[in-house]
């Protein structure tokens, strides 16, 4: 192999190596840019995260998870100073957790329930209250039963609320969930109970 051929071969190898490095560099840059772009569109606020939930694809699998999501949404609506359109959208998400029988009851239309919710939130704000935490019974504490041929579950949740005088109170409620035709647990109803009743559950 003469000197000229060697030089041409060396130049060719160098050019190929440079091209490979440039291609690899461009790919890394594109990947990084795509990842950053993907992360930038992910919701960062609690409101955004809850509104981004697709309950058709990500519906909670147990009564406990349903009631936890119920209170996560309520805590967000009551504690957060959000835009009216976001509160309305979050309320519509909340209704997806309700059983059809509950939604069909008198006074439970979308319009009526939202009006009642806004009124309650306004009073909550005026009184300078704050939902600090909530606890929902775990799956192994849930009572299951068959009622009229349908699966039902009963569970207790407690909510800690702080008032303007920094006084903390704890309230309890019993929730009844029922499986719908798609096998999803929906909230059929709830009622306030005492601490003693909650302990005896």
DSSP 173: E
- pLDDT on residue 39: 46
When pLDDT is cut at 50, 70 and 90, the band that residue 38 belongs to is: very low
DSSP 85: H
pLDDT tens, residue by residue, 45-101: 999 999 999 999 999 999 999 999 999 999 999 999 999 999 999 999 999 999 999
Lowest mean pLDDT among 15-24, 91-100, 190-199: 15-24
Q: Cβ–Cβ contacts within 10 Å for residue 130, how many?
A: 17
Whole-prediction pTM:
0.78
- pLDDT on residue 40: 45
Nearest CA to 90 out of 57, 124, 120, 55 is that of 55
* Alpha carbons 118 and 122: distance in angstroms, whole number: 6
Q: Residue 155: enclosing H or E segment and its boundaries?
A: strand 150-162
Q: Cβ–Cβ contacts within 10 Å for residue 178, how many?
A: 21
């Amino acid at each position: 192999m003469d000197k000229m051929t060697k030089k041409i071969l060396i130049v060719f190898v160098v050019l190929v190596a440079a091209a490979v490095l440039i291609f690899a560099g461009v790919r890394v840059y594109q990947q990084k840019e795509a990842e950053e772009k993907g992360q930038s569109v992910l919701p960062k606020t609690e409101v955004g995260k809850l509104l981004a939930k697709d309950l058709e694809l990500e519906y909670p699998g147990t009564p406990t998870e349903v009631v936890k999501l119920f209170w996560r949404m309520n805590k967000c609506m009551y504690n957060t100073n959000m835009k009216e359109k976001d509160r309305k959208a979050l309320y519509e998400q909340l209704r997806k957790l309700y059983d059809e029988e509950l939604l069909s009851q008198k006074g439970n239309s979308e319009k009526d329930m939202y009006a009642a919710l806004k009124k309650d939130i306004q009073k909550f704000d005026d009184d300078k209250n704050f939902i600090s935490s909530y606890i929902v019974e775990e799956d192994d504490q849930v009572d299951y039963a068959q009622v009229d041929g349908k699966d039902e579950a009963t569970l207790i949740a407690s909510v800690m609320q702080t008032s303007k005088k920094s006084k903390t109170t704890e309230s309890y409620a019993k929730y009844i969930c029922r499986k719908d035709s798609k096998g999803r647990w929906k909230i059929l109803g709830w009622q306030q109970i005492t601490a003693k009743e909650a302990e005896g559950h």
